[in-house]
Structure 1
């Protein structure tokens, strides 16, 4: 089990400078994580920084609230793919899901999937604002619309990934649809617990602390508290 290749190293906070982005890309490549997930305007910078390393460049569409028009989400996605993005994490329209406007939610996701031209699309439900029934509906609509992942959270809402939500999402979608946990994945123990429940990808800013803890355990050291003390994950 390659833990590093389950991590999307997150660089989405609004205050990050271009030097912060370059440093984050260096962490991602040195640690050989699955991807670095950057703000849309940073895709070109990140693509150059990780070129030839095997680390993917992910970015976001309709982030963080999901309420931009479908045409804008699709146009944003097309531009990001042209700039070099390998994966798109989109936020579904939370208010329309809560309104039971399932046709709108489905078509909104489907438009981004089409614009992504075969690249991986992860659909963020933002579970903190949803009932369990709405989470199930959102997962099913994401699958029907052709998405590759369902994802718990942006990290910018009141709550993040929970064990109960991962279990619910994994039980809702088909086996070929993966589940991404994001928001609060600050320690190796949290990651392992959520992985056991069915998550296969994790959004995190605490990447180095998590992987340092893993390396220490592999050397037989007592699990440390470094990851738990790290800054928030998205």
Structure 2
């Protein structure tokens, strides 16, 4: 697989708490230069970044991040505000406690409400696989499919582990045909990226792929 094909599936990401505008601007510049799918940044920077990139790349942000336990109403407000500020993709975190309590209808209703807020904009649903049993992962595949979201996403990158190959295989087996897959967290090499894509992921949440290619350009390797 060619590097550009991989880059076209990358949500070039910077979500650290201490991220500065200069760092966000660099993420935007690199995302545009390397023709990534989007830049995934904190909501507080969405308006400024959207004005800065002038439509050259999609701006993605995160909702209910990273813990997922905001109320549905707060998540809907966050999403609407982000979209008004220029975001075109929303990555929301589910309420994991509700899943553990088997409150499946509440989770589905929340995702539906977020998708309604997003309209034609892309909604990705982060389920934080490292905290879930296999049964819970399968159930979330069903719920995300029923709720009409565009993507199921493995991880925030802020918990105990990130994406695994096994999770992508499991997702592929259990999501409906309307749901795409995003792997995120711990993707540290081009080989890993290619493997995730070959298993069924069509988006990758990472900053490392661009860093690797920038380093190769700088060093000649």
| Alpha carbons 2:108, 2:146 under 8 Å: kept | yes
- In structure 2, the CA distance between the partners of 1:214 and 1:178, relative to structure 1 (3 Å rule), is farther
> What displacement does 1:132 show?
0.5
Q: Which whole-Å CA distance do the structure 2 matches of 1:87 and 1:184 have between them?
A: 21
Q: Which whole-Å CA distance do the structure 2 matches of 1:124 and 1:4 have between them?
A: 21
> What displacement does 1:212 show?
5.1
- In structure 2, the CA distance between the partners of 1:137 and 1:213, relative to structure 1 (3 Å rule), is farther
| Alpha carbons 2:91, 2:125 under 8 Å: kept | yes
Map of 1:227 onto structure 2 = none
1:105-132 Cα distance to aligned partner (Å, 9 max, x none): 1011111111112210000000011001
Q: Which whole-Å CA distance do the structure 2 matches of 1:113 and 1:153 have between them?
A: 19
TM-score by length of 1: 0.88
Q: Which whole-Å CA distance do the structure 1 matches of 2:168 and 2:153 have between them?
A: 9
- 2:8 aligns to what SS in structure 1? helix
Q: Which whole-Å CA distance do the structure 1 matches of 2:126 and 2:200 have between them?
A: 16
Q: Please, what is the CA RMSD of the aligned residues?
A: 1.8
Could you tell me which runs of 5 or more consecutive residues in structure 2 were left unpaired when the two chains were aligned.
Answer: none
> What displacement does 1:98 show?
1.3
Q: How many pairs are equivalent?
A: 217
1:67-108 Cα distance to aligned partner (Å, 9 max, x none): 000000011111111111100000011110111110111011
Map of 1:27 onto structure 2 = 30
The one of 113, 120, 123 equivalent to 2:122 is 120
1:23-64 Cα distance to aligned partner (Å, 9 max, x none): 1111111111000001011101111221142x1000011110
Q: Which whole-Å CA distance do the structure 2 matches of 1:98 and 1:5 have between them?
A: 35
- In structure 2, the CA distance between the partners of 1:170 and 1:214, relative to structure 1 (3 Å rule), is farther
- In structure 2, the CA distance between the partners of 1:52 and 1:76, relative to structure 1 (3 Å rule), is closer
| Alpha carbons 2:123, 2:150 under 8 Å: kept | yes
Q: Which whole-Å CA distance do the structure 1 matches of 2:118 and 2:103 have between them?
A: 23
**Aligned residue runs from structure 1 range 29-44, under 5 A:** 29-44=32-47
Bigger share in helix: 2
- 2:91 aligns to what SS in structure 1? strand
| In the alignment, structure 1 residue 75 sits paired with structure 2 residue 77 | yes
